[in-house]
Amino acid sequence: MSMQRFETTERMSQAVVHGDLIFLSGQVDKTKRDTVEEQTAAVLSRIDALLDSAGSDKAHIISANIWLADIGSFAEMNSVWDKWVAPGATPTRATVEARLADPKYHVEIAVIATRKAP
């Protein structure tokens, strides 16, 4: 079975497609906007773009892992997530507090999705 990689560097790929499964690496807002809401919106927009390039969309997300620098920002992140997620196609999800790679990152999200049917 073939494998396709997207936006690959010497360290990692932003997306890998294997069969009909799409694995996205953890996405952060590299512009480091100030608020959890702004960063969440930027990350979800990036996820939309990566899924599109891999032949999918948010309605085909199977699972999401979300890391928050401060679990106290759970409601702020959810306020953006809830407006973005595809109605009737909510994925499984885990959200935890974790120290992220840069103190200016508030949220990181990784997803697994399937390709859209041809």
Please write the tens of the pLDDT for every residue from 42-56: 999 999 999 999 999
CATH number for the domain that contains residue 96: 3.30.1330.40
Number of domains in the chain: 1
Give the residue numbers spanning the domain of 86. Answer: 3-114
Q: Any bridge partners for residue 6, and if so which?
A: 15
Q: Is the pLDDT reported for residue 118 higher than 80?
A: no
CA angle 91, 26, 4 (to 5 degrees): 85
* Nearest residue to 33 via CA among 76, 84, 83, 72: 76
Q: What is the pLDDT of residues 88-116, one digit of tens each?
A: 999 999 999 999 999 999 999 999 999 99
